[in-house]
Structure 1
Amino acid sequence: MTLIKKLLHRSEFYLTFIILVFAFFVQARSGQFLTANNLVDLCVSMIVPSIFCMGMLLVVITGGIDVSFTALASLSVYVGIDILLRMEYEGSVLVAFLLVAVLSAALAALNGLFIAILELPPLIVTLGTMSVFQGILLGILNASSQNVLPEGMSKFGLASLFQVTNKKLNITSAMPYSIFLLVGIVVATWLILRHTMLGRGIYAVGGNKNAAVRMGLKVKKIKFFVYCYIGVLAGIAAVIRICMARYNPPGNMMGMEMNVIAAVVLGGASLSGGKGTILGTLLGMGLMTLMENSLLLLGVPGYWQTLFTGIIIVIGTSITSYRAANIRKRSVDRRGSGTCKKVNEI
């Protein structure tokens, strides 16, 4: 009974249940959900947004928010590719990852400077930097589609672990090597959160900033790190997305930030900070991806897909926020009753 009660108080349990029910419904209606190519397509669709989610999770746990990371990623990858093309670089894709990660970390450091060091509101700062990054990309640089990529990026985009074919629909899907990058980033984020003092500090800062200061934690350094971390991951995700698409339309990632934030909150993270898990975040993004992709199998028009996705976001985030508020209220009530008991004893 204790285990059941614990499960009923975790967002992961409800998300898993919803995903299974929705998957069963789509399979019953279309008969194509459990086909190998559809499952591969779902995994591929999750790679880039899930990497974004790992960075956003750390930011949200500290009680912050970042809406600029997609604009940051778009600017970094455009400049990085442009530099490599001008150099006529034809080597490994690792150089592209490293270059774009450095550029995106430098841009993300601006967010960290204003938010962590100068203690300005995260939403206002990142809204401002998002506009700045977009203005630089589309205005100053006058960015246009990069239809030719460095050779290393093109080869990486074409390479695959395996391919599966749906003979009924004559569709072939490939699993890219970038799935290993997603797994590595998930493991690295888990190690940071669960097995380092930095991870404990991230939860502590989001849970109670004043208490974290009294504990001797370097609050400003922790906040600065999480904004740089999401910047680096955004750059890596941008390179993966461009490699898989094999061309770079400027600003193609802009607009993904709302789904990423929604997935993190759906996974049980609290926007007030101090709470969030990697499993819940991945399940939240899994539900978002499943909703968008599977509606195509049911032949639902695009505008209905947007409507259903919006409904899921509103309902899911409302339930998560409501449950978090109840947990805080019960915690306050328990502390209050305990204080009253001590007073009566005295």
Structure 2
Amino acid sequence: MTLTLRRSRWLVGLCSALLVVTASGQGGPPPQPVSVRPVVNAQLAPVTWVPGTVVARADSRLGAEVSGRLVSLAEVGTSVAKGEVIARSDTGALKLELQRQQAAVDRLQAQLHYRQQQVGRFQALAERNAAAGDQLDSAQAEQAMTAADLAQAKAQLAEVRYRIERSELRAPFAGLVVEQLAQPGEFLAPGTPVLRLVDVHQREISARAPLAAFRHLSEGQTLPVRQGDRTIELKVSRRIEVGDPISRSAELRLSLADEDWVVGSAVEVSVPESAGSEGLAVHRDALLLRAGQRYVYRVGDDGKAERVDVEVGLAVGDQVQISGPLQAGDLVVVRGGERLANGMTVQVLAPTSMAASARVEG
């Protein structure tokens, strides 16, 4: 047993010596994996979050254009193309009126033809002095009046045809039928609402900003917009420069392209309260606090971490203004800095690699 104990102690000592030699050969601990972001020049301002709504750029309550009994209309939830028929009214009475007007046009055309022949005969007689001048004048007047009556009848015929055509309500734009405002069998007067049609593909954000903040906004400016735990950046497309005297706010619209937010959804929009100030800014995860001092780790060209003390200013979202011996473009550690010390060698990882490293350590 004594021999076995001596052998065990010898093996432990040998392993310890090998570990010391190996560590010495590698020149110290391996580089610490970190994730970095650059220091940036940014103009930050205090912000306020205002409520907004996802709205459709085209949202119409479509009404009947002619009077008549409603025969059919599109069901709620139906997607329709531009120009597609979405409602029909009965045209029985209009078709009878069309026949009457067509008969009147035919009668007046025949009468005008007769008046034209009559004028021709009187002109021939007048050239031979076989007819009085007042007879020719009377015939020409009858011809002119018949021509006017024919023009009026043709206009009335065109009006009936137009009313028959307009008895079919067509979609003025591609969209979704979201509400039926009338039912089949009801008699509709011109202007009676029939359907609500919404273009659910062309959407935008509508929000009202306080007038004090509204003057700091401009078209094309990018603002954070959040819904729940999701935040995206959207551009201001329009500023409606008319304030509400009660709420002291004015409307702005933001373009909404590929997001799947439903029309009517509630959102929040971040608007600046002032023009803001420009200076150096870092991601909030870069800031470390120890013994009452705030600092960051800057990664140099030699791959070593350098502690840099900073003073903290305004924080907006993920960005924090700082002052200290830094310049725009410097790389500062935003993840992994808690395990660093001044002068340590680091290995800069891609974001996905850093996440994988964190999972392994956890």
TM-score > 0.5, shorter chain as reference:
no
For normalisation by structure 2, the TM-score amounts to 0.17
For normalisation by structure 1, the TM-score amounts to 0.18
Tell me which protein shows more strand as a share of its residues.
Answer: 2
> Larger RCO: Structure 1 or Structure 2 (Cα < 8 Å, ≥ 6 residues apart)?
1
